[in-house]
Structure 1
Amino acid sequence: FRRAVEEGLLDPKRMVQIGIRGAISDAENYDFAREAGIRIIVIEEFMERGVDAVMAEARSIVGEAPAYVSFDIDALDPSFAPGTGTPEIGGITTREAQKMVRALAGVDIIGADLVEVSPPLDPSGVTALTGGTLLFELLCVMTVQMLAQ
């Protein structure tokens, strides 16, 4: 995202990152995001405020203009999605993730992705199932919005 912002491809003031946590991130990345105007909601704030309040803020940041949603599977706690390259305990639950995606109903989503699923890291297949289900949820939200237009 940093490179896309630096090249003028993304409007940082319409970006929100939710559930950020972990010790492997460089503090410089957080500094850049804040200076650029990207709203970062760390996991502690997410847990304190709850899905409804956080998603209401996210919707207000995105506004009515077309939006792109990128869902990083490592936002989930690894007990729900262990098959990712950067597992970090203390993440969101699958139920919270579904509620977050469903809260996007009415947003003009023109594209979406789900990243960081690594099936070889999860022989049980639960991460792939979770990722596929969240993508299905995103597609449903997008389809309802397209039909409403």
Structure 2
Amino acid sequence: MCNHNNSPASALPKNSSARAERVVEGGHLGPVNAALMPRYAGLSTFALLPQITEVPHADIAVVGVPWDAGVSYRSGARFGPNHIRQSSRLLRPYNPALDTSPFAQCQVVDGGDLALNPFNIHEAVEALEDAATEFSAQGTKLVTLGGDHTIALPLLRAVAKEHGPVALLHFDAHLDTWDTYQGAEYTHGTPFRRAFEEGIVDTEALCHVGTRGPLYGVRDLEDDRRMGFGIHTSRDIHRMGIDETVARLRERIGDRPLYVSLDIDVMDPAYAPGTGTPEAGGLSSLVILELLRGLDGLNLVGADVVEVAPAYDHAEITGVAAAHVAYEFTTLMARKIGGLA
């Protein structure tokens, strides 16, 4: 199920001057030492982290799911994971916003890509669930790089096997709680309705964040209320501000196991043009990062960033934003594991 498609660092001769030396801090193998190896050189692992094959155990794995067979408009998110990795080369080991060196708190790795069947959605969903469950059984939390938003459903199934129904924060321009598209139950617009129907999310702790734009009708909102979703639209957040929004989210989540799913189109197209279904009136990258940092201390058991389509991403704007989102997810998890939050 796991296709680690980057060549291992051990392919170089042991005495090679080109071998990438890594930072070792807190007893954990960290990123390539940028003082010895230029950031633009070497393997494109996330944040220049070691591959999962280089360590005996990983506390957190950043994994790619290059799959977009559930897309209803512009395709291309299958190329998102490697685009995000390439855009993550400038990420550094210390996160000043949360005063943490996440890669020193626990062992973080690039887990490679999970290869899914692009021609059979049902098979792909099941295979991703199995792979995510395997990581969980090994005590490894996942930060997943999509891929389209269909992948959130099998990832939620996997964490629910361990934690029971989980709280969910869904950052997105869209609700993604529609029933079907052209008769298909598994698409990037339906994962959270399926999650509700399967009982794998905690209906007292669900919230959409950053939604906006036209809907098919008022019934869309009525269905969401029936499922238990709260909604903080981009307009709401603009009026309330970051601190008030964070306070309301934290009150809704409490100490429940939390999964965060972030569609990059939650950001305005000015900050994330490289996505399949852009909507005007979105949030800035700064607002998104501050909202995520406000979740510090919550029991984050899994997270994803999805719908990055590099064909539409001039100057890597979207890739850079997505890389920073994944970095914040990693920091939040590492702080919890390291006892800092």
Give the alignment's TM-score, normalised by structure 2. 0.42
Q: Is the 8 A contact 1:13 1:39 kept in 2?
A: no
Amino acid at match of 1:88: E
Q: Is the 8 A contact 1:78 1:91 kept in 2?
A: yes
- Could you tell me how far apart the structure 2 residues matched to 1:25 and 1:51 are? 29
* Residue segments in structure 1 that go unaligned for 5+ positions in a row: none
Q: Is the 8 A contact 1:13 1:36 kept in 2?
A: no
Q: How many Å apart are 1:24 and its aligned residue?
A: 4.7
Q: Is 2:291 the partner of 1:100?
A: yes
Identity, in percent, stands at: 35
SS in 1 for 2:334: helix
After superposing the two structures, state which structure 1 stretch, 28-37 or 77-86, moved more. 28-37
CA RMSD of aligned residues (A): 1.4
Count of residues in Structure 1 that have an aligned counterpart in Structure 2 = 149
- Could you tell me how far apart the structure 2 residues matched to 1:131 and 1:15 are? 23
Amino acid at match of 1:140: T
Match of 2:280?
A: 89
- Greater share of helix: 1
Which of 189, 192, 212 lines up with 1:21 in the alignment? 212
- Could you tell me how far apart the structure 1 residues matched to 2:230 and 2:238 are? 16
Which has the greater radius of gyration? 2
Amino acid at match of 1:107: L
**Pairing 1:1-149 to 2, within 5 Å after superposition:** 1-24=192-215, 26-148=217-339
Change (3 A) 1:5 1:116: same
Change (3 A) 1:125 1:24: farther
- Deviation per CA, 1:19-71, whole angstroms, max 9, x where unpaired? 11011555433211112221011111111101111111111111101110111
- Greater share of strand: 2
After superposing the two structures, state which structure 1 stretch, 26-35 or 135-144, moved more. 26-35
Amino acid at match of 2:242: V
* Residue segments in structure 2 that go unaligned for 5+ positions in a row: 1-191
Give the alignment's TM-score, normalised by structure 1. 0.94
- Deviation per CA, 1:80-131, whole angstroms, max 9, x where unpaired? 0001111111111111111011101000001000111111121321101110
Amino acid at match of 1:61: R
